[in-house]
A = this chain, B = another copy of it.
Amino acid sequence: MQDFRTDMADERRDIYKKANNLENEIPGIKCAELQKKENVKLTVVDILDKQGEKALGKPIGKYMSFDLEKLNLADEDEIEDISEIISKDLKEIVKAQIDDDGEILIVGLGNQFVTPDSLGPKVVSEIEVTRHLIKYAPECVVPGARSISAVAPGVLGTTGIETFEIIKGIVDNVKPKLLVVIDSLASKSIQRISSTIQISNTGIVPGAGVENARKELSRKTLGIPVISIGVPMVVDLATITDDCLNLFITKLQDEAKSNDYLNTLKNQDKYEDIKSALIPDNYNMIVTPKEIDELIENMKEIVARSINYAI
């Protein structure tokens, strides 16, 4: 399988099509775009069958990505607007999985002390939990309110425990009917950092974005449906250098100033020695906008409200 270096289904589709010179849709994939609002674009990628699954390296299911433009400048009204738009689609996805009163557990993955990995825990702290009220103070909730609980399990590096092990334990004890998991993702596009939300009705592999791959959270492993909400927070520096060199060679070709060697080099990921010369060993270099702290605050608000409104 291709190494996509992105967790975004729509980016994988683009890469696959380009790499395979496909003009038409990839077999097993359906895709639609929708301008929800002047600055909110929705791309829906449906992975329909095993063939599509194999092409994109992601499980069968629906992947909605909302691109939010100029989010760092969004004011309170705009945040509210966007949250309402997203919550409607999220509500549909939730409805397709469980009853209106089915208990939900929200899980915020990531390390709250590492800025680009802190979205999950931050969102969890804004979720309106009701499970304890229903249990211990039913007079404080409207009758028939859905039971909501929320946890931020931390990351392997600070707990020493696989996220899956912690969540499995909680699911076994709390017995929710649905899991909603929030995580940071990797993207190939700098513009999408903290500016795009991908919602899918399939599970998630914790740390896929910024840590090593770990055991997935999904219906297969947990026995209940899992909706995942992911936001690209980093672009790997190696991705950027790759893009940079490809753009460079394309430009040389366009200007008829390339040569045979360069032509064979392109799109072949053979720049390992350049990357290793650029990127020091001991560190995990990421590219991020300087405005990241502000972007995360706005994104946290949008994701938290979308969830609170939807459930």
A residues neighboring B (CB under 8 Å): 70, 72, 113-117, 124-125, 129-133, 147-154, 156-162, 165-166, 168-174, 190-191, 210, 234, 237, 240-241, 243-245, 247-248, 251-252, 257, 259, 261-262, 271, 273-274, 277-280, 282-293
The smallest beta-carbon distance between A17 and chain B, in angstroms, is: 20
Residues in B with CB closer than 8 Å to A277 are 247
Shortest Cβ distance from A235 into B: residue: B285
In the complex, the answer to whether B287 meets A286 with C-beta atoms within 8 Å is yes
In the complex, the answer to whether A279 meets B237 with C-beta atoms within 8 Å is no
How many monomers of this protein are in the complex?
Answer: 4
In the complex, the answer to whether B168 meets A156 with C-beta atoms within 8 Å is no
Shortest Cβ distance from A153 into B: residue: B151
Residues in B with CB closer than 8 Å to A273 are 251
In the complex, the answer to whether B115 meets A190 with C-beta atoms within 8 Å is no
In the complex, the answer to whether B279 meets A290 with C-beta atoms within 8 Å is no
Residues in B with CB closer than 8 Å to A248 are 245, 248, 271, 274
The smallest beta-carbon distance between A23 and chain B, in angstroms, is: 23
The smallest beta-carbon distance between A158 and chain B, in angstroms, is: 7
Residues in B with CB closer than 8 Å to A157 are 129, 132
Give the top 10 A-B pairs by smallest Cβ distance, nearest first: A169-B169, A131-B160, A129-B160, A149-B160, A283-B289, A284-B290, A169-B173, A257-B261, A165-B173, A191-B280
Contact for A151 among B124, B159, B262, CB less than 8 A: B159
In the complex, the answer to whether B173 meets A125 with C-beta atoms within 8 Å is no
**How many angstroms between the C-alpha atoms of A3 and B170 in the bound complex?**
34
Given contacts A166-B170, A247-B277, A278-B244, contact A289 B285 (CB under 8 A): yes
The smallest beta-carbon distance between A53 and chain B, in angstroms, is: 28
Shortest Cβ distance from A284 into B: residue: B290
**How many angstroms between the C-alpha atoms of A191 and B237 in the bound complex?**
14
**How many angstroms between the C-alpha atoms of A287 and B283 in the bound complex?**
11
**How many angstroms between the C-alpha atoms of A147 and B159 in the bound complex?**
11
Q: 19 more A-B contacts (CB under 8 A) besides A114-B293, A248-B274, A257-B259?
A: A149-B159, A150-B159, A151-B161, A151-B166, A161-B174, A169-B174, A190-B283, A237-B240, A237-B287, A240-B278, A247-B274, A251-B273, A252-B262, A283-B290, A284-B289, A285-B287, A286-B288, A286-B289, A286-B290
In the complex, the answer to whether B290 meets A114 with C-beta atoms within 8 Å is yes
**How many angstroms between the C-alpha atoms of A259 and B288 in the bound complex?**
34
